[in-house]
Structure 1
Amino acid sequence: MAAAVSSVVKDNKGLRETACLYNIPIETLRRRVNGSVALDCKPGPTTVLTNEEDQLAEYLIKMSEMGFRLTRDGVMGMAFKIVTELFVQIKIQSVTSLPMQIYNCDETGVTIVFKQGIVVAEMRSRSVYAVFAAEKECTHTILSFVSASGISLPLMMTYPCKRPVPPLQREGAVPNTLFVTSDSGWITSELFVEWSKFFLQNIPPI
Structure 2
Amino acid sequence: MSFSVGGLMLNESLVIAQAYRPGETWACARERLLAQGTSSLPKLASQTRALREVYDRIGHLFDTERHYLSAEADRAEQQAIVWLAVCRTYRFVHEFAVEVISERYQSWRLDLGHEVFDRFLAEKAESDSGLAELSPSTCAKLRQVLFRILREASLISIDGRIQPIWLSGRMKRLIEDSNPADLRVFPGNGG
Shared topology, TM-score over 0.5?
no
Richer in helix (by share)? 2
TM-score bin (small chain): under 0.3
If you compute each CA radius of gyration, which structure gives the higher value, 1 or 2? 1
